[in-house]
Amino acid sequence: MSIPPLSIGLLLFPALTQLDLTGPFEVFSRAPGAQVHLIWKTLEPVISDRGMAILPSTTFQACPKLDVLCVPGGPGQMALMEDSDTLAFIRRKNEEVSLLTSVCTGSLVLGAAGLLQGRRATCHWGSLSQLALLGAEPVSERVVRDGNLITGAGVTSGIDFALSVIAALYDDETAQAIQLHMEYDPAPPFVCGSPRVASAELVSKASAQAAPFIAKRLEATRQAASRLYSETGKPASNKPFTG
């Protein structure tokens, strides 16, 4: 049985974390017949948070119909949460895609667009609780699916996330073949890649290092939640924020 070509879009934006995008891109680009688009407002190079320049392949205006939209995260995500053009593009594409997806703090952007209310989602552990401000149910898992919404946790989870997306779109065998070709066989030198397994001392130190930035992101999330309230006339979430 022939599979119709899939159109997969990855949002590209200034100060994103490149692995949030390039990990899934590597997986998606290996899917049979898939066409993968890197989307931004212009075709000018976009600079990641660590200085990597990445070229968009299409613009918001020229973007073809998509089957999947993926929003990565990174520091630039905060600006996107108040970027009306980007939020409008995401809302528009949400009407046509089969799967709406994100990696890391890209889920906060989906929340700012009003697309996570009442839905289970995840993001980087340092900002996971902020999803509640946008009406989502935060879930501390590597990959979370809620209907046509699939979200991945922080940075490196993008590969796990993308393989899960391929399994959902094609089948397990196709995803397994891609994983084998990529030799995706993680064997990290240390068992500390998540607060679930890292020592309490290491988690405390990492949290303290990130605290000023997380506070800045929290303020951006609060403002996004306030804008959602002004647009819809109801709070993004009725649950108290505990982060």
Those residues with Cβ within 8 angstroms of residue 98's Cβ, 6 or more apart along the chain or in another chain: 67, 68, 148, 169
Q: Which of 63, 70, 104, 123 is catalytic?
A: 104
123 is an active site residue: no
Using CA atoms, how far apart are residues 232 and 107, in angstroms rounded to an integer? 19
- What amino acid occupies position 94? N
Angle subtended at Cα 124 by Cα 121 and Cα 126, rounded to the nearest 5 degrees: 120
Residues serving a catalytic function are 104
